[in-house]
Every structure is written in C-alpha cells, then in structure tokens.
Chain A
Amino acid sequence: MKKELLSVEDLSCGYGKELILHDMDFMVSRGELMCIIGPNGSGKSTLLRTISRILKPHRGKIFLDGKNIARMRHKEFAQKIAVVSQTLEATGMTVQEYILLGRLPYFRKYQFFETNNDENIVQKYMELTDALKLKTTLMSEISGGEKQLASIARALTQEPALLLLDEPTSHLDITHQVQILELIKRLNRELGLTVLMVLHDLNLASEYSSRLLLLNNGSIHKIGRPEEVITYKTIEEVYETVVLVEQNPLSGKPCVFLVTEEEMRKEKTV
C-alpha cells in the first residue's frame, strides 16, 4: 500500500472563471490527521469542495490511493471519501434513517432496502459516536452538537479511507468542541482513518493534528508539523496580527495567544 493516500498535483480551482486557489501541491499520508488553516477567504472550503468533487478543478489532478478521482464512478468515490459539511438542512427523518443514508454507496444496482450487514454497521458507528440514544429522534429536534455527531456517524458508515470535515466545531460550545475533536482523534488512531479537516481555531488545530496545511492568498504558505507552522512570525505574516506563541504546558504543542493593544502598549513602555 502506498504511503500517500491523497495526492494533490498542480491544482488550480475556483468558482466560475475566478481562481481561488492556484498551484496547490501537497500530499496526505495514510493514517494522518491533517488540518487546513488559514485566514478567511484563503480558500480552505474551496479546497475541500474541490477534493470532494463538488467543484471541478481548472487545472491539475487529485489522486486518491493512486487513482485519479475525476475518473472514479459516483458510488466508488463515495466509498472512499466521506464528507461532513458545515450546515445541515433540517429534515423530517429520524437520526437512524439519516445515518443509514451513509450506506447508499454500497447498495447494488436495483437494491432498495438495506441489508443486515448495513444495519450492523450503522449500529456500530452509532455506538462509537454515542448517538445511539438519539436513534428514533427526528433530525430537526436535536442540537447542533448532536447533529454533528450524527453527521460523523453517517460519514463513518460510508467506511471511507479519507474523512473530510469542514469546520466541524465552529458553532459549538467548548464541551462539544472537545467531544467532537476527541472523537475524531480516536477514529484516526483506532480505526486508522485518514482525516483532512478545516479548522478555524489555531489552537485546536495545533492540539489535534499531526500536520498542518496553512493557506494564504490562494496558495500554500506552509505545510508541516504544528511546531513548524505555528510560529509567531508565520502567524503575523499570514494573519497580519501580533501574537505570542508559547508551548502548551500540558501537551507541548504550540499555542497562540492574542496580544491586545493594551498589552502592546505595556510591552513598549517596559
């Protein structure tokens, strides 16, 4: 088995004629947990949407396990890559029905009903994501955090090689943020699931990833381990804001502290 699961070569993509990203070249190794970070408008979501085939690239190729994703059939692709999106339209189905949809890529041509195997898999991942208690609740009646858990469970039933997540924690409180990210880390470690995740919060990204991909102005600014990417110089360059970067006393990962104006004035007088 190749070491690289995802390989992006010379990718340029965007909406309509406008190019958001250009000259993207990077790889994601099997079993890695990589976070995409960057300022607003740097193209994080665009990158994810191009990898998940929502957008067609203007130039370049994307390979999954050595195969060009542009040539994959719909179901085949969905068996390899699963996506957890930011927003979810509230629907009239129950949580269990929703999660079951994740098995669609495995339905044979004229199969209309799920098999026993499908049901077992759904059960397994509902347990794993602690969504079992919500089994018969309607999707429209659960909280944002619970919706995310359900979406992750659904993505897992697709049994993908690569899991894509677009800001899975942006509208959640701290408890749920940690819960979701811990879950993702566990999935990555225990199931060997490769994860590519867009995160807003630099510190969370630093805590949970093995490698970071920092985007700026539509191209890769830096790629590497958190210690390499999160330095005060890099952050200042990209985010154009003064920060203090220290090592987290518990985990050893780099941590970003905001420097307020008051602090800056204090520094100057010292």
Chain B
Amino acid sequence: MRNGKIRRWVTILFILAAILISVSVISLCVGAAGISLRRIPHIIWEGKGTGEHSILFDIRLPRIILGFAIGGALSLAGTILQGIFRNPLVEPYTLGISGGASLGVCLNIAFKWYNAVGIIAYPISGFLGAALVIVFVYSLSMKTGTLKTQGILLTGVMISFISSSLVMLIMALSRSEDLHGIVFWIMGSLEEPNMFLIRMAVVGALGGLILSYFFCLDLNALALGEEEAIHLGINVEKSKRILFILASFLTGLSVSVAGIIGFVGLIIPHLMRMFTGTDHRILLVSTFLAGASFLILCDTLARTVIEPFELPVGVITGIIGGAVFVYALSKKQVTL
C-alpha cells in the first residue's frame, strides 16, 4: 500500500514539475517586445549583449523566478493556515493577514525603518504585521470555541478593512514621495530590480517548504481536531506555534517583496486537494509547485493581455481566485 502511494505521489510531483517548467518557458517566450519563437534559440545561443537577450533574461526571467518563490510561498502559507484552522476557505488574504503585513510594510515606509536596519526592514515589518494578525484571529477563534467558516472569514474581512483604513490614514499623513512608494507597493507586482530581494524570496520560500515538511504529519493529525491530535501524541501547542510563525513569515515575505496578491493561497490548496487528497506529505509540496506555476501564469497574462498596459498581477489572481472562492462558498465544500 505504501509503495503504491509513494509511486502515485512521485508521479504527481513529476507532472507538476513538468507543468512548472512549461509555464516558465512559455512565460519566457511571450511579452510586449514581440520576440518571435523562432528567434529565441538564437538569442540564447548568442549569449549576453543583445537587447533581446536582456529582455529574456534580465526582465522576464527575474519575474519568473520571483513568481516561483511568491506563488509557492503564498500557496504554502494557505495550506498551512487551512491545516491549523481546519477551514478550507482560509488563506493569508481572506484572513486579513496580507492586510496586516501591508500595514507593517506601510509603517516601515512611512517611518523609514529601512534607513536604520537596511532592506531587511521590509520583510521583517511584513512578518510582524502578519504575525500580529494571525495571533489575533486565532485567539479570537479560540475564545468562542471553534468559529464556523463565516465567523472566521468575517473576522478576516474586518481586519482587512481596518488595515486598509489605517494604511489610508498613513497615506493621508505622509509626504507625497512616500505616498507614491506606498501606493505602488500595494499594487502587487513581480517586477523587482533588486536581485538580492529575489534571491531572498527564493531562499525564504524554499526554506519555508523544507521547514513545513517536518510538520506534515502534525498537520495530518491536526485535521482531526486539536484534542485528537493530542491523543495521537502530537505536541499541538509547539506545532501550532511554529506553523503560525512559518505562515506569518511566508506571508510577510511575499507581501513585502511583491505587494498584495490575493487568492493564490486559497484556490491552489483547494484544487490540489481534489487531485492529491488531504495528506500533507504530498499536499505541501504539490501546492508549492502548483502555486508557483499559477502565479507565473497569472503574471504572464497580466503583462500581455492588454499590452502595453500592464495589469497588476493581483487583478488576475483576484478575478480567477475570487470566482473560485464564491463557487466554493456556494457549494459549501468542506473536504479538508
């Protein structure tokens, strides 16, 4: 039985990896510059120097890499949060966690903390904002027993409203130069010139994946409820704490580098559960890969659909993700 299971899982991973590579290649080949497919092997062969090479490898490729990291990180955070809250409609955006992270980064921009600590102030402020919200939402849900779906999502929407109001307040009080910074940054975008930040995002996302894997069994047990998990010998308090921190870290990182991109962490775990089941030993990695592919795809659409205009990638994920969200809510899917 086990061998059959492992074989099935490895096949799934291969398929997902193949999808990821295909989407990345497609993304590399399309864009506003109108480089024809036939030219591309030449360009790669000729190597650095030409403008076209620059377009492929200095403009498109960094976006693909960042899309991989952020898509993976957000999906992973969504899977973890859904595991902790035992609720399939929970994710960084719907729980208001991206709102909290954005508030953190906004405060960072307004008070110029990056002057004191360097560029790391961005992900740290995002992380703190995200962590605060997760703790708040969770303690709220614990006080009233286990909140039903609507309850927790209502809290999340509330927090989103509050954070965006606070962000607007900060914007109203800031100088116009900072204002531009905040507005631009809030509109999610995978365009990031700083290769260090991109590298940091990749390291953080992959590191998060590896760390989360140590808790895959805990998440499986938590699916039965916290008491049952305790009966099975899981140290629930410790696991929850570490998973919370991990989800905050992944969210804070994503929001601080790429702004607010919603619904990725919602629909990807949902979709993946339908194909792979609810065992986190496969789910964690598969949602990471699928999320990466999804975001790269959305970003490609965002920059080619009505070129030369470029839509914020959050618009595309919002439309697709929002539609799926409404559908899932109406069907009352409770497959966890």
Q: Do chains A and B touch in the complex (CB under 8 A)?
A: yes
Chain A contacts to B: CB under 8 angstroms: 52-54, 74-79, 82-83, 85, 88-93, 96-98, 101-102, 104-105, 107, 110, 112-114, 116, 119, 140, 158
CA–CA, A88 to B213, complex, Å? 26
Residue with the greatest number of chain B CB neighbours at <10 A, chosen from A92, A116, A119: A92
**B60, CB-defined interface residue at 8 Å:** no
**24 CB < 8 A contacts A-B:** A52-B231, A74-B230, A74-B234, A74-B235, A78-B231, A79-B233, A85-B227, A88-B224, A88-B228, A89-B223, A89-B224, A90-B334, A91-B224, A92-B277, A92-B335, A93-B278, A96-B1, A101-B221, A101-B224, A102-B232, A104-B217, A112-B213, A116-B2, A158-B232
Residue of B nearest to A94 (CB): B277
Q: Give the contacting residue for B228; candidates A75, A85, A107, A113; CB below 8 A.
A: A85
Lowest 7 CB-CB distances: which A-B pairs, in order?
Answer: A78-B233, A105-B233, A75-B233, A92-B278, A92-B335, A83-B231, A74-B235
Residues of B within 8 A of A77 (CB): 233
CA–CA, A83 to B231, complex, Å? 6
CA–CA, A110 to B214, complex, Å? 7
Residues of B within 8 A of A104 (CB): 217, 221, 232-234
CA–CA, A107 to B217, complex, Å? 10
Residue of A nearest to B228 (CB): A85
Residue of A nearest to B86 (CB): A89
**Nearest CB of B to A45, in Å:** 12
**B310, CB-defined interface residue at 8 Å:** no
CA–CA, A77 to B233, complex, Å? 7
CA–CA, A105 to B6, complex, Å? 21
Report the interface size class on chain B.
20 to 34
Q: Give the contacting residue for B336; candidates A54, A92, A116; CB below 8 A.
A: A92
Residues of A within 8 A of B231 (CB): 52, 78, 82-83, 85
Chain B contacts to A: CB under 8 angstroms: 1-2, 6, 86, 213-214, 216-217, 220-221, 223-225, 227-228, 230-235, 273, 277-279, 281, 334-336
Q: Give the contacting residue for B232; candidates A88, A105, A112; CB below 8 A.
A: A105
**Nearest CB of B to A57, in Å:** 16
Residue of B nearest to A52 (CB): B231
CA–CA, A90 to B6, complex, Å? 25
CA–CA, A93 to B213, complex, Å? 19
CA–CA, A110 to B211, complex, Å? 12
Is the CB–CB distance between B232 and A93 below 8 Å?
A: no
A119 and B227 in contact, given A75-B233, A90-B334, A104-B221 (Cβ under 8 angstroms):
no
Is the CB–CB distance between A93 and B279 below 8 Å?
A: yes
A89 and B279 in contact, given A74-B235, A101-B232 (Cβ under 8 angstroms):
no
Residues of A within 8 A of B86 (CB): 89
Residues of B within 8 A of A79 (CB): 233
CA–CA, A92 to B334, complex, Å? 8
Residue of B nearest to A87 (CB): B225
Is the CB–CB distance between B277 and A93 below 8 Å?
A: yes
